[in-house]
Amino acid sequence: MTLATYTKSCSKNVGGNSRIFLAEAANITSVTVTSGEVSAITAPVAFKEIQAETDSIFRNEESIALPQSTHYQISVGFKLNRPSLAVKILRDSLADASPCGICALVKDGNGTWWLVGYNETDLLTRCLFLQQDNMNSGAEVYGDDIAQADIILSNRLQEKSLRLTDALGDKIDAGTALFIDQAVYSAEYQAVYDSWTTKPSAAVAEQQDLMVREWVASGWWAKRDVVYVFAIHTNDNDEALVNWKNPGTNDATLVGTAPAFTPFVGFTGAGTGYINTNFSFANDSSNYLSNDASVGFYRSEDAYGNADLAAGARNVAGGFRTSHILDQTQDQANIYINGVSKTITGSGNNGRFSGSLLSGQIDVYQNGKWNSDNTGLTPKALYDLDCFILCYNVDGAASNYYLSDCGEFDLGGASTHEEEVRASVALEAYMASNSKGTVTKDNYNIQCDGNSLTQGTGTEVPYTTKLATLDADYEIANHGGGGRTGDDMISAALVNVDQAYDPHKIENICVAWEITNSIFSDGDTPQEAVTTILNYCKSRRDLGYKVIVLSSLPRSSDAGLNADLLEANVLLEAQYREYADFYIDLRTNSKLADQDDTTYFLVDKIHLTTAGYEEVAAMVHTVIQDIIS
């Protein structure tokens, strides 16, 4: 064989790999190689996709040169996050398949697909085997590689891996290659996917599935009656009109001059047409009830300037009205649910707007952020009226057509604050994946909660004030209160901390500091005090906060009390990982370890001086910077 020429390409070169599929060699029937590239693969039992951790997939070819021949140590590897039953099953299956060999399909950072473990000389006789199957839980919460399974498949082959033709690689990307088995979708999304004549690309389907999985995990999905995601890839065969909650039931229809469809935006009103959800409030509701209901919609583009958006139905005589009115002229969104209402003021143009009614109280949200509520309400009974979108259904007739766009609409039972946050964040992530998101994130929302140590005492400047000076992007709220215990914090946080959660921020961080009063004032044991503060932390983390929990400080001269506080710190450090994200042992700072040091403690030996608070601020700031980076 003569030496080949090589012409340098000036195109961009990207490292790494984005996808990997694996198959047992015995299940590959044939591989067709044309001009040095794989042009066809037949595998009755398909290659299985492995959703490995981002930036963990690698493919190596290391030459082993001898005077008369050159061999290659061929390897692929990846990491799997968080030990679980599914990870164990995969690891066991790799061990079982290893004796007969495994082949891999790997997509590199330049978009090129490679068949690894097969070549024209060895064929399927020297495929990859399981060389490494390690898992390290780690001893600390910090670290990039902890709690991951680290897999390597390798073997020595006579030739290098083979490149797939662009045409064959395109089939894998499109999800149409018969020899691959894409990652399994959730059952809920699979029903939607199967209902479509024209399927989305694999990348889009993955984002849609992730969105549905989060909706299901949050509890929001189970409470829906109908979910219409109009902002999808096509409406050629009414794909965009499918009711995602139950495809084939209450699917929507276009009426009149059909609203215009734009991929990944949804439908835009034409002035004389609308969308009929074919969902009757009185006859089709399972979760949507008179005093337990919610409505939501999403708009991503204001194509007609200050065009308003409306949807819903109204019975004039009976006072029943469920609707959204996005009033751009007044910069507000008016949300009606079963005859009662609340207005979101200063709402801006786009995003997700929603309302939830339960037991006479209506709460309204924009992009998952709680806005306001209205209480003591008496909702009306449901009426047999279909819900229209881009106009109103007034006693059975379309009225008040609107020109705005609508990308998503849903009806169901009342949502909790956490459910609404998670549902909105998941929808926004999907919209953003198609460059249609509306939320621009800025700054860091930091909610500091606790007792008088957080609040500050007398003329001493609390740590939150100092913390605010350490980074101009910190937006800090101090919810500390004198004498507050862990139980007090749990009750108050439902309003003062939870309602401050803001998906518009780059990070939402909650700093929790209270052990001492639960033991001193409530008489809790160290374990009881720790359990209370950790329950507080978990509820905030479930909402979406990154939670930092602080240790107790020494208090007074009571030896028994200080022994309990020390024990609580030990317990807190051992147990926090399932409830909070970070733990700060303040006593590791020697300036905060001696309550008799009046430079940092007041004479009461409980509260801190301004100098002491500056030390706390510096320690909290360090952890927040770790979160940010």
pLDDT tens string 261-291: 999 999 998 888 999 999 999 999 999 999 9
User: What is the topology classification, in CATH, of domain 444-628?
Assistant: Rossmann fold (3.40.50)
Residue type, 556: S
Q: What is the pLDDT of residue 305?
A: 43
Lowest mean pLDDT among 228-232, 305-309, 467-471, 596-600: 305-309
H/E stretch holding 260 reads: strand 260-262
What is the SS3 assignment for 519?
helix
H/E stretch holding 215 reads: helix 202-218
For range 443-458, the mean pLDDT: 95
User: For 146-166, what is each residue's pLDDT tens digit?
Assistant: 668 889 999 999 999 999 999
Q: What is the pLDDT of residue 254?
A: 97
| 476 token code pair | 């800090």
Percent of the chain past pLDDT 70, that is, above it, reads 94
Of 541, 543, 484, 551, which Cα lies nearest the Cα of 518?
484
- In the predicted model, is pLDDT for residue 185 greater than 80? yes
- On the question of a common fold for 187-433 and 444-628, the answer reads no
Question: Can you tell me the distance from the alpha carbon of 207 to that of 303, in angstroms, rounded to the nearest whole number?
Answer: 25
pTM above 0.85, yes or no: no
N-to-C CA span, the chain: 52
Residue 144: pLDDT band (50, 70, 90) is low
Domain residue extents for the chain: 17-181, 187-433, 444-628
For range 565-576, the mean pLDDT: 96
Question: Can you tell me the distance from the alpha carbon of 8 to that of 346, in angstroms, rounded to the nearest whole number?
Answer: 56
Strand ranges (DSSP E) for 390-506?
Answer: 392-394, 397-399, 405-406, 408-412, 444-450, 474-478
- The β-bridge partners of 253 are 276
- The β-bridge partners of 550 are 584
User: What is the topology classification, in CATH, of domain 187-433?
Assistant: Jelly Rolls (2.60.120)
Question: Can you tell me the distance from the alpha carbon of 131 to that of 161, in angstroms, rounded to the nearest whole number?
Answer: 18
Question: Can you tell me the distance from the alpha carbon of 518 to that of 530, in angstroms, rounded to the nearest whole number?
Answer: 9
Cβ proximity of 581 and 605 under 8 Å: no
